[in-house]
């Protein structure tokens, strides 16, 4: 079976769970009595492991040589093939403090930018993987992997060969390379990219971005309202969904983009891939989102 290639910024996410039954004596804030901690891949790492549940996946990313980077590597390697170039600024660690199923606070560390030599380190393996890839997902978290010149050159070659390319953009990241199959911004990202206000319909945003980014199509995700898919000609398809009561939306965008890539790899067609991805994202949120996932380090 041909692999899905995921390229982007992998992060380490940690949920610290506990109880809040008392207040701090020296400040008007609750005390979190920690009961457990769960670590998982985040960013492109989460998108990759979700796709790897049904297809072989190669993840191309930047990893720092630090304790958090080693922890992230140990979570990823049992589930997929990992090609990691050097990173600077420390592994991106996002820690959510949670009680009773709700987040109280998030603490972020690290910047995780590709270091000099990143392109040379990953370029040969990326080029080789793209010769047999069934689909490509660019999972951009604005840290620089999607902006690397070597990576972008390889992606342009993949587009030229007709490989389906899904681009999940980030406000701090670059525009997609021309010709990708579909870009998947959320509504806020689409508005920000076009500097549009809330009166502009999502279908118009999607069509305008397809023209600006030279994509075959853009699927703007709308949270619990599903998604809208539009091409450069302005024609669009609404893909509604049912509202989820409760659940955790953390990671829903990764679930959506990863599912689009996986379905395109299985020749589902773009409309079918977006419909399937909307259903997958809803199921992901209803099941508890990223907070419900459990990963074990390699022995």
DSSP 187-209: HHHHHHHHT--TTS-HHHHHHHH
Alpha carbon distance 190, 187 (integer Å): 5
Residue pair 135/262 in contact by the 8 Å Cβ criterion: yes
Q: Where are the alpha helices (DSSP H) in 144-227?
A: 149-160, 187-194, 202-213
Q: In terms of C-beta density within 10 A (0-12 exposed, 13-18 middle, 19 or more buried), how is residue 127 classed?
A: middle
Is residue 80 a contact partner of residue 48, using CB atoms and an 8 Å limit? Answer: yes
Place of tokens 């010149």: 149
Residue 96: Cβ within 10 Å count: 20
Of 13, 148, 168, 254, which residue is the catalytic one?
A: 254
Q: Which helix (DSSP H) or strand (DSSP E) does residue 262 occupy?
A: helix 252-265
Annotated catalytic, 9?
no
Phi, psi of 149 (to 5 degrees): -60, -40
Distances (CA, A) of 5 to 34, 49, 218, 249: 37, 11, 20, 25
The position carrying tokens 């075959």 is 216
Q: Are 136 and 258 in contact (CB under 8 A)?
A: no
> Could you give the residue numbers annotated as active site?
254
């Amino acid at each position: 079976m041909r692999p899905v290639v995921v390229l982007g910024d992998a992060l380490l996410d940690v949920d610290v769970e506990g109880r809040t039954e008392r207040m701090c004596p020296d400040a008007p804030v609750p005390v979190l009595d920690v009961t457990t901690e769960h670590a998982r891949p985040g960013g492109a790492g989460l998108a990759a492991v979700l796709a790897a549940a049904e297809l072989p996946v190669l993840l191309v990313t930047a990893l720092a040589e630090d304790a958090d980077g080693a922890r992230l590597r140990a979570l990823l390697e049992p589930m997929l093939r990992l090609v990691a170039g050097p990173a600077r600024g420390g592994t991106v660690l996002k820690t959510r403090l949670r009680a009773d199923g709700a987040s109280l606070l998030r603490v972020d560390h690290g910047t995780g930018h590709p270091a000099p030599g990143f392109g040379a380190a990953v370029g040969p393996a990326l080029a080789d993987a793209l010769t047999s890839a069934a689909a490509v997902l660019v999972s951009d978290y604005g840290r620089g992997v999607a902006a690397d010149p070597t990576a972008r050159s390889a992606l342009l070659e993949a587009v030229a060969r007709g490989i389906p390319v899904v681009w999940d953009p980030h406000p701090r990241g670059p525009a997609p390379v021309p010709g990708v199959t579909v870009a998947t911004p959320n509504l806020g990202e689409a508005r920000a990219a076009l500097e549009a206000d809330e009166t502009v319909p999502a279908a118009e945003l999607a069509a305008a971005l397809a023209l600006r980014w030279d994509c075959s199509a853009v699927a703007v995700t709308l949270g619990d309202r599903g998604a809208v898919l539009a091409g450069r000609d302005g024609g669009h398809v609404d893909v509604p969904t049912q509202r989820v009561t409760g659940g955790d939306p953390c990671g829903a965008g990764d679930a959506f983009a990863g599912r689009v890539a996986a379905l395109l790899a299985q020749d589902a067609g773009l409309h079918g891939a977006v419909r399937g991805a909307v259903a997958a994202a809803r199921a992901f949120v209803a099941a508890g989102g990223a907070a419900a996932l459990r990963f074990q380090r390699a022995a």
